[in-house]
Amino acid sequence: MSKRVVLAGAAGFLGSHLAERLVQGGYTVTGLDNFHTGHAANLAGLMDNKSFSFVEHDIRLPFSANCDAVMNFACPASPPAYQANAIGTLKINFHGTLNLLGLAKAARGTFFQASTSEIYGDPELHPQTENYRGAVNPIGPRACYDEGKRVAEALTFEYRRQHKLDVKVVRIFNTYGPRMRVDDGRVVSNFIVQALLGENITVYGDGRQTRSFCYVDDLVEGIVRLFQSDPLITGPMNIGNPVEFTIGELAELVIAITGSTSKIIRRPLPEDDPRQRCPDISLARQHLDWEPKIALAEGLLKTIRYFEEVLRRSGKGQAA
């Protein structure tokens, strides 16, 4: 079993949960992050742990370390964040992934890539299976992320073909939970914060577009199972919750659970916003014996409690 893990993006939403889970599982973790969208506070529970160390580092620059595995979770994942510096996002996914593949190759370790359902673009196949090649606009405003992640997968599998590197790729579908930033910009955190502050809830477009939301603990369990699976299981493998909701339904659910007085308002649909998204998780069920356990209402409640506390501490309190 790989014991020493370099985890890039460790101060982010998913990276910090994964770092904790790996340390609890007996791994020694070196976290890398440049705090682009992550926060040191996410690592507060790990900083005194002897099995965890942290290096402030931008993965667009090379890094060297002795390790058994390299996990790449470094990349802004929220559309406003990854579009704010689109060329930077492309560099993170190309140069950054290349640097981490080089690190894994030099260390003769396993490389694990956090890929995304965005690989499928605005999909014509529904639900999406891993062999679906996707419908991505290569020159649109989401391309820096979608195409960046696609080239990261291409690099990963070329390292497997040419250098015989052990690799694994997970395609993550919309995941939410505690430690998302208040100003992250993704839909779950936006709606919860708006509801708690009594502000208008901003549904983009007609709200009939769909997403399938996975709670972070379920996702991390699937990732760890894939990471620990037989080296022949490379993925790409979908990990996500196959229960699909419209964005309008999500807004209603958040209002119902928070008891908010917020009103739903419409805002323009961003260009190339996928109309539907739902994972086919047959491969994860078959190879990892994994499926999500936390229903949306339950996961939202845990996430709402987290944001209530963050807003209370920042002095914004509850206006809803």
> What is the nearest approach in angstroms of ligand NAD to the Cβ of residue 287?
20
Angle, CA 47 vertex, CA 169 and CA 106 arms, to 5°: 40
> What is the nearest approach in angstroms of ligand NAD to the Cβ of residue 290?
17
Q: Is the peptide bond before 236 cis (omega within 30 degrees of 0)?
A: yes
Among the residue ranges 9-17, 101-109, 277-285, 304-312, the one whose residues contact ligand NAD (CB under 6 A): 9-17
Given 21, 105, 270, 291, the residue binding ligand UDP (CB under 6 A): 270
Nearer CB in complex with ligand NAD: 94/157: 94
Buried b (16+ CB within 10 A) or exposed e, 105-117: bebebbbbbbbbb
| x/- letters, 97..136, toward ligand NAD (CB under 6 A) | -----------------x-x--------------------
> What is the nearest approach in angstroms of ligand NAD to the Cβ of residue 259?
26
The yes or no reply on residue 57 touching ligand UDP (CB under 6 A) is no
Token pair in block for residue 150: 């696609």
The yes or no reply on residue 190 touching ligand UDP (CB under 6 A) is yes
The yes or no reply on residue 96 touching ligand NAD (CB under 6 A) is yes
The yes or no reply on residue 191 touching ligand NAD (CB under 6 A) is no
**Rounded distance between C-alpha atoms, residue 21 and residue 3, angstroms:** 13
Regarding beta strands 214-215 and 175-176, do their DSSP bridges make them parallel or antiparallel, or are they unpaired?
parallel
Given 99, 110, 174, 212, the residue binding ligand NAD (CB under 6 A): 174
Given 7, 70, 90, 247, the residue binding ligand UDP (CB under 6 A): 247
The identity of residue 29, as a single letter, is V
The yes or no reply on residue 186 touching ligand UDP (CB under 6 A) is yes
In the annotation, is 145 catalytic? Answer: yes
The yes or no reply on residue 187 touching ligand UDP (CB under 6 A) is yes
Nearer CB in complex with ligand UDP: 203/239: 203
| x/- letters, 47..66, toward ligand NAD (CB under 6 A) | -----------xxx------
> What is the nearest approach in angstroms of ligand UDP to the Cβ of residue 214?
12
- 17-46 binders of ligand UDP (CB under 6 A): none
Among the residue ranges 95-103, 159-167, 186-194, 221-229, the one whose residues contact ligand UDP (CB under 6 A): 186-194
**Rounded distance between C-alpha atoms, residue 175 and residue 216, angstroms:** 6
The listed partner (ligand UDP, ligand NAD, none) that binds 283, CB under 5 to 8 Å by sort, is none
Instruction: Please identify which of the residues 145, 159, 176, 215 carries the catalytic annotation.
Output: 145
Given 6, 70, 77, 296, the residue binding ligand NAD (CB under 6 A): 77
Q: Give the interface with ligand UDP as residue ranges (CB under 6 A).
A: 78-79, 174, 186-187, 190, 202-204, 209, 211, 247, 269-270, 273
What is the set of active-site residues? 145
